[in-house]
Amino acid sequence: MELTRELTLFSCFESSNMDTFAPFKFKTVSLSRIKIHDKIFEPFISAEEIDKAVTVVAENITKKYRGKKPVFIGVLNGCFYFAADLMKKINFSCEISFVKVASYVGTQTTGNVRQLLGLDQKVSGRDVIIIEDIVDTGNTIEAVTEIITNMGASSVAVATLLMKPDVYDKKVKIDYVAIDIDPEFVVGYGLDYDGYGRNLNQLYVLSQAENLKSNEDMLNIVLFGPPGAGKGTQAIKLKEKYELVHLSTGDILRNEINNETELGTLAKSFMNKGELVPDEVVIDMIGNCLNEYRDAKGFIFDGFPRTTEQAQALDNLLEEHSTEIDTMLSLEVDDEELVDRIIKRGQESGREDDKNESVIFNRIITYNKKTAPLKSYYDEQGKYHAIAGVGSVDDVFERLTSSIKS
Ligand code: AP5
Ligand code: MG
């Protein structure tokens, strides 16, 4: 293992988507991504693909070494998975031993000195096959090969699970490579990130897009409130002031309806009754939007989340993007005013769900039953802020910006 390995490390429109692997527990981030410490990793090479590649290496070694009784020397820690699977496929007489490479700073002339620890195997006069998990620049394998050659091995070969040919700059021949990879940071199948991930039975690669950017300075606002509270009205002003991306699930769904998409047809059947569209539909939509606007300075979530499931999914999605909700601003407006506003708007807006009083009432009932409980969800995180939503649009805006400042 390289001791000095470096950590290289539905249609969406802006309104006018891991199992998390943490020590001792998995937590879903999205389909099959995992999180180790602070980094997100994506599935890279499956257990089946690894098995096929290891089989080829075993066959090639068998062709060359059958009858020679070689000594395999595995370089710990990273090689343990590869060494075990490789040895299961080697069915001729051989021995195996494991070493660790120690590195310490020597004199000015000797530079970094490397030593093999735990070699209890006589290698003098033997054919040796070193087993590595990964070869990148080749510092470690160069040192190990040199030490074993100097101990009098009659031949030294190298078998590695992974090889990064683009960064390898040594002369030592790497005889058996199971899989060539680009210079990316991988974990699993013996390889770790800061101690964790070695036990994963397949390989994962560091998600570049997710990790390149530090999103600590983003501003993410949940603009909350019942139908007609003024979310859309205020979002437009907040978007302009803070240069944020405005994501209104209602607007996105209406766009799908206007475009007569399959999703639009599905959404329409719920929206026209004042019911909520199924969680998975809107969660997917928001996941896609977050991926699309990776460079955003932040987001205004208008009309999302509307259920606890949506709120939890949003937290997970934002965590994948190394960010989180900063504040939940809840516009408080009484029911009578809400109905007045919506009916008034309905005369011009053309919104189907504004035209019918019973649908308007159902939207408010649905809000109180399914959405209002999210106030406690955010209050528990210390993020809930009630904002009086009556008065002029500018007055309400002033209250919102003061709350954001504080
Ligand atoms: P959505 O589009 O989000 O509608 P809504 O929540 O019902 O809210 P509105 O857009 O009607 O009101 P608003 O708060 O934006 O207020 P506005 O600024 O327009 O959702 C529609 C449907 O889509 C849902 O019912 C559901 O079916 C589905 N859906 C959407 N998201 C979903 C999700 N996450 N999960 C599941 N389903 C989802 O203002 C209203 C009116 O008041 C305007 O005319 C405005 O001019 C006026 N006004 C604004 N401020 C003031 C003020 N201060 N004084 C006087 N009038 C004002
Ligand atoms: Mg709206």
Pocket lining: 178 vs ligand 1, CB cutoff 6 Å: no
Domain ranges in the chain with CATH number 3.40.50.300: 219-405
Mutation test residue for ligand 1: of 222, 236, 253, the one with most atoms within 8 Å of CB = 253
Tell me how far apart the alpha carbons of residues 331 and 329 are, in angstroms, rounded to a whole number.
6
Mutation test residue for ligand 1: of 231, 281, 370, 394, the one with most atoms within 8 Å of CB = 231
219-405: what fold?
Rossmann fold (3.40.50)
Domain ranges in the chain with CATH number 3.40.50.2020: 47-178
- Ligand 1 nearest-atom number relative to CA 342: 41
pLDDT of the chain along its 406 residues, tens only? Answer: 332 222 222 444 555 433 433 333 333 334 478 888 878 899 999 999 999 999 999 999 999 998 899 999 999 999 999 999 999 999 999 999 999 987 655 444 444 557 888 887 789 999 999 999 999 888 889 999 999 999 999 999 999 999 999 999 899 999 999 999 998 899 999 999 989 999 999 999 988 765 545 566 799 999 999 999 999 999 999 999 999 999 999 999 999 999 999 999 999 999 999 999 999 999 999 998 988 888 899 999 999 999 999 999 999 999 888 899 999 999 999 999 999 999 999 888 888 899 889 999 999 999 999 999 999 999 999 999 999 999 999 999 999 999 999 8
Which protein residues have a CB closer than 5 Å to ligand 2 (ion)?
231-232
Tokens encoding 146 = 């040199």
Ligand 1 center to residue 315 CA distance, Å? 23
Pick the CATH number of 47-178 from 3.10.580.10, 3.40.50.300, 3.30.1160.10, 3.40.50.2020: 3.40.50.2020
Residue pair 35/21 in contact (Cβ under 8 Å)? The answer is yes
Nearest-CA residue for ligand 1 atom 29 is: 250
State which amino acid sits at residue 295. Answer: D
- Ligand 1 nearest-atom number relative to CA 351: 11
What residues contact residue 216 under an 8 Å CB cut-off, 6+ apart?
322, 323
Q: For residue 176, give Cα distances in angstroms to 60, 88, 100, 109.
A: 8, 17, 20, 33
Q: Is the peptide bond before 70 cis (omega within 30 degrees of 0)?
A: no
- Among all chains, which residue has been given the structure tokens 């998600």? 207
Residue pair 82/161 in contact (Cβ under 8 Å)? The answer is yes
Burial class (CB in 10 A: 0-12, 13-18, 19+), 31: exposed
